[in-house]
C-alpha cells in the first residue's frame, strides 16, 4: 500500500475515534445534566419540607413565647408600685412590726435613723432608690451592674415565680437587698426577713429599705447564718457580692447564728414561710446544718446557690451539699436555662444533673413534696 493510502486510512480511523469520543462525552454530559436536575428537584423538595418545618417551629415558638413571663413587664410595673409604696409608707401593722424588729436586732436599731452611708452611692432604678457600697467596681461584678448598668435581677425573679406566692421570705446573704426589696415591691413576698453579715452591705440594705417605705415589710439583721451560734471571720472581697465566711483567712469578725435559732429570735411565724433564699458563697451546707426544723416543713421552697469551687473553699465540697439536699428535699429545678435534662427532676438525680458544671455555678430550687 502506498504512503498516501496509509495516511488516508489513518486519517479516516482518527476521525471515527474522535467522533466516538465526542459522542461518549456528550452522553456523559447528558447523564450529568439529568443527575443535576434530579439533585435540584430533591433540593427543592427538601427546601419545601424545611420551610414547612421552620414555619411550624416559628408558630410553636410564638405560642411558647406567649406563655413566658418577661422582665419587660416587671420593668413597667415597678415604678408605679415603688412610688405608691414611698407615698403610703408602712401602715400601723408595719410600724408595730418594725418596732418589734428593732427591739430584736440591735444592728437594725442602730441604723434605722442614721444618715445615708457616706461611703456608698445612691442610684435610682425603675422608681426604686438603691444604696451601693463603693467597692472595686470591676466590670461585670454586682455593684457595676447596679450602679452603671442599672440592672435588677428581674429575669432571676421570674424563673422562680411558679413556686413563690406571697407569704414570708427569708433572704440569707441578702447583700444590699436586690432580691428582698424587689420582691417586696412586686408583691412576691408580703414579709421578708433579710440576713446580711457585711457591715457596708447591711448599712446600704437598711437605708434602701427605709428610702423605699418598706419598714416593717423588709426586716434586715446583721448576721451570718451558719451551723453554730457564735462568731466567724468574714473574708472581705473587692466586690460586694463575693464576701465569704472562710476559716483560716484574714477578715472581720461577724456574728453567726443557726437559722432555726435566728427564726425563733426574730419571732418568725414559720407557718407563713414560703421561700428561703440562700446565697452565701459556698456556706450553703452549713446553713442547712443549722436549720433542721425549718427544713422539715413541707411546702417551703429553697433557692440555693451551687458553686463547687466556693463549696470546697468553705470546707464542705459539692458532694456534701448534694447529700444534704437529697436528705431534705424530694425534687429540684436547675435555674440555669441551658441546663441539660428535664426542668423538674427527682432529687436523687441531683449529682448526675450537676455534672456539667465544672468550675461554673448555678442556682437551684428545691422542695419537699408532701406525702398524703
Q: What is the 3-state secondary structure (H, E, C) of 58-84?
A: HHHHHHHHHHCCCHHHHHHHHHHHHHH
Q: Give yes or no: residues 60 and 162 share one domain.
A: no
Q: Give yes or no: residues 47 and 167 share one domain.
A: no
Q: Give yes or no: residues 346 and 330 share one domain.
A: yes
Q: Give yes or no: residues 24 and 101 share one domain.
A: no
pTM: 0.83
Q: Give yes or no: residues 155 and 246 share one domain.
A: yes
User: Could you say which of 26, 53, 68 is where a domain stops?
Assistant: 68
Length in residues, the chain: 372
**Is 285 a member of any domain?**
yes
Q: Give yes or no: residues 137 and 151 share one domain.
A: yes
Count of the separate structural domains present in the chain: 2
| Domain, as residue range, for 95 | 71-367
Q: Give yes or no: residues 46 and 87 share one domain.
A: no
**Is 372 a member of any domain?**
no
Q: Give yes or no: residues 61 and 93 share one domain.
A: no
Q: Give yes or no: residues 133 and 38 share one domain.
A: no
Separation between Cα atoms, residue 215 and residue 290, nearest integer Å: 28
Q: Give yes or no: residues 268 and 279 share one domain.
A: yes
User: Could you say which of 39, 68, 97 is where a domain stops?
Assistant: 68
In tens digits, what is the pLDDT along the chain, a chain of 372 residues? 555 555 555 555 577 788 788 888 888 888 888 888 888 888 888 888 888 888 877 777 666 555 567 899 999 999 999 999 999 999 999 999 999 999 999 999 999 999 999 999 999 999 999 999 999 989 989 999 999 999 999 999 999 988 887 899 999 999 999 999 999 999 999 999 999 999 999 999 999 999 999 999 999 999 999 999 999 999 999 999 999 998 777 899 999 999 999 999 999 999 999 999 999 999 999 999 999 999 999 889 999 999 999 999 999 999 999 999 999 999 999 999 999 999 999 999 999 999 999 879 999 999 998 765
Q: Give yes or no: residues 255 and 310 share one domain.
A: yes
Separation between Cα atoms, residue 189 and residue 76, nearest integer Å: 19
**Is 63 a member of any domain?**
yes
Q: Give yes or no: residues 45 and 92 share one domain.
A: no
Amino acid at each position: 500500500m502506498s504512503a498516501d493510502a496509509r495516511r488516508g486510512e489513518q486519517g479516516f480511523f482518527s476521525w471515527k475515534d474522535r467522533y466516538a469520543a465526542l459522542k461518549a462525552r456528550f452522553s456523559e454530559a447528558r447523564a450529568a445534566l439529568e443527575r443535576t436536575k434530579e439533585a435540584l428537584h430533591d433540593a427543592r423538595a427538601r427546601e419545601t419540607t424545611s420551610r414547612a418545618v421552620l414555619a411550624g417551629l416559628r408558630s410553636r415558638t410564638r405560642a411558647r413565647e406567649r406563655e413566658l413571663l418577661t422582665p419587660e413587664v416587671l420593668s413597667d410595673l415597678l415604678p408605679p408600685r415603688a412610688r405608691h409604696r414611698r407615698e403610703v409608707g408602712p401602715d400601723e401593722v408595719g410600724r408595730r412590726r418594725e418596732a418589734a424588729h428593732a427591739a430584736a436586732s440591735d444592728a437594725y436599731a442602730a441604723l434605722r435613723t442614721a444618715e445615708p452611708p457616706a461611703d456608698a452611692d445612691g442610684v435610682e432604678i425603675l422608681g426604686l432608690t438603691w444604696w451601693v457600697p463603693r467597692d472595686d467596681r470591676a466590670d461585670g461584678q454586682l455593684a457595676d451592674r447596679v450602679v452603671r448598668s442599672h440592672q435588677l435581677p428581674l429575669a432571676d425573679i421570674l424563673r422562680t415565680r411558679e413556686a413563690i406566692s406571697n407569704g414570708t421570705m427569708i433572704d440569707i446573704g441578702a447583700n444590699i437587698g436586690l432580691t428582698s426589696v424587689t420582691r417586696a415591691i412586686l408583691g412576691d413576698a408580703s414579709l421578708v426577713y433579710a440576713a446580711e453579715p457585711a457591715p457596708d452591705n447591711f448599712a446600704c440594705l437598711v437605708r434602701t429599705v427605709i428610702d423605699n417605705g418598706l419598714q416593717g415589710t423588709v426586716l434586715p439583721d446583721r448576721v451570718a447564718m451558719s451551723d453554730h451560734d457564735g462568731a466567724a471571720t468574714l473574708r472581705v472581697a473587692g466586690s460586694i457580692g463575693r464576701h465569704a465566711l472562710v476559716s483560716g483567712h484574714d477578715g472581720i469578725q461577724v456574728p453567726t447564728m443557726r437559722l432555726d435559732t435566728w427564726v425563733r429570735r426574730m419571732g418568725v411565724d414559720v407557718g407563713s414561710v414560703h421561700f428561703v433564699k440562700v446565697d452565701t458563697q459556698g456556706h450553703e451546707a452549713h446553713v442547712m446544718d443549722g436549720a433542721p426544723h425549718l427544713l422539715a416543713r413541707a411546702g417551703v421552697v429553697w433557692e440555693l446557690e451551687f458553686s463547687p469551687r466556693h463549696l470546697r473553699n468553705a470546707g464542705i465540697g459539692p458532694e456534701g451539699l448534694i447529700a444534704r439536699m437529697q436528705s431534705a428535699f424530694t425534687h429540684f429545678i436547675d435555674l440555669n436555662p441551658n441546663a441539660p435534662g428535664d426542668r423538674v427532676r427527682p432529687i436523687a438525680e441531683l449529682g448526675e444533673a450537676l455534672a456539667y458544671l465544672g468550675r461554673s455555678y448555678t442556682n437551684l430550687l428545691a422542695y419537699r413534696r408532701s406525702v398524703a
